[in-house]
């Protein structure tokens, strides 16, 4: 199937299809991942996709997540050679879609990275903790503008440096993406549990992916939580599973060294895997 998804490519080498979260776009992923790839000694062809109704890709009558998955499949089939091996990266809902793609292209995927993965699509069934700031500073919070309070919402670490980094992430990434999102199409899908789910049985323990995997969750993630993702361990036997303290759904914020080290370790493991399997 031909796809009309827009995408931004950077670099040459092993293809990596990178899928953003709900209401986001590929530029948001670039902000966190490009510093890592820029410093890598290996060559990777980063393909930052804009999902339907997000970024530069029109919704074109998008119906549900199954429809979105079909369009992603069409994009991959049209952008990559039929025999091409590739890697997958997904954040939040993009991680949910990446898992489905890894299932469909199991014989061609050499690595999978899931950042703050959506595992349970139905809001009421997610295992979440109530919000509590790790570092509370009422004086600081009372001193910021009403506009910044509305922008940042619940702030996990109420320190000037953390809030500066979080505000930058919103201003340069999240806000432009949300402004461009086609909410007239997206909101009804997000509000309907029957549409905001993928029909594939992704939790079937008979379907495992042996390629190196990285799963990074935030200990204080108030959107998808971290406990639901624990069940992914048995589906990905070559997975590094990390729950980062001082991290919510927008990780990494401020201290991104650990996240970058984990991604670099994953890239090393994938390169090793490809060599052991005889893939150039």
CATH number of the CATH domain containing 225: 3.40.50.1820
Question: Model's pTM, two decimal places?
Answer: 0.95
Q: For residue 205, what pLDDT is reported? A: 64
Is residue 239 a part of any domain in this protein?
yes
Q: By C-alpha distance, which of 134, 95, 129, 90 is closest to 227?
A: 129
Is residue 98 a part of any domain in this protein?
yes
Express each pLDDT in 127-147 by its tens digit. 999 999 999 999 999 999 999
- Domain span at residue 218? 6-128+181-276
Torsion of Cα atoms, 35 then 8 then 24 then 235, to 10°? -70
In the block, tokens 């200990």 appear at 219
Q: Do residues 31 and 103 touch, judged by C-beta distance below 8 A?
A: no
Is residue 149 a part of any domain in this protein?
no
Q: Do residues 25 and 54 touch, judged by C-beta distance below 8 A?
A: yes
Is residue 133 a part of any domain in this protein?
no
Is residue 95 a part of any domain in this protein?
yes
- Report the range of poorest mean pLDDT among 31-45, 73-87, 229-243: 31-45
pLDDT average, residue stretch 159-177: 95
Is residue 185 a part of any domain in this protein?
yes
Q: Write the CB contacts of 203 (distance below 8 Å, at least 6 apart in sequence).
A: 231, 235
Is residue 124 a part of any domain in this protein?
yes
Is residue 49 a part of any domain in this protein?
yes
Domain count, the chain: 1
């Amino acid at each position: 199937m031909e796809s009309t998804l827009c995408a931004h490519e950077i670099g040459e080498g092993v293809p990596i299809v990178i899928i953003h979260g709900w209401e986001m776009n590929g530029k948001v992923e670039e902000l966190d991942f490009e510093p890592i790839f820029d410093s890598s000694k290996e060559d990777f062809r980063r393909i930052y996709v804009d999902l339907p109704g997000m970024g530069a890709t029109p919704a074109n009558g998008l119906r549900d997540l199954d429809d979105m998955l079909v369009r992603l499949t069409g994009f991959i089939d049209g952008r990559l050679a039929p025999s091409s091996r590739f890697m997958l990266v997904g954040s939040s809902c993009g991680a949910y879609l990446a898992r489905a793609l890894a299932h469909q292209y199991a014989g061609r995927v050499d690595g999978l990275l899931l950042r703050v993965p959506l595992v349970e699509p139905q809001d009421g069934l997610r295992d979440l903790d109530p919000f509590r700031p790790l570092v509370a500073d009422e004086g600081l919070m009372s001193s910021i503008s009403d506009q910044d309070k509305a922008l940042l919402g619940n702030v996990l670490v109420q320190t000037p440096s953390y809030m500066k980094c979080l505000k930058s992430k919103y201003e340069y990434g999240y806000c432009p993406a949300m402004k461009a999102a086609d909410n007239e199409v997206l909101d009804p899908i997000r509000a309907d549990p029957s549409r905001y789910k993928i029909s594939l049985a992704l939790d079937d323990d008979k379907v495992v992916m042996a390629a190196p995997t990285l799963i990074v969750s935030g200990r204080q993630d108030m959107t998808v939580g971290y406990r639901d993702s624990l069940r992914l361990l048995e589906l990905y036997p070559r997975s590094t599973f990390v729950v980062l303290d001082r991290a919510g759904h927008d990780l990494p914020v401020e201290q991104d060294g650990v996240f970058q080290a984990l991604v670099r370790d994953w890239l090393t493991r994938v390169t090793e895997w490809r060599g052991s399997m005889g893939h150039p």
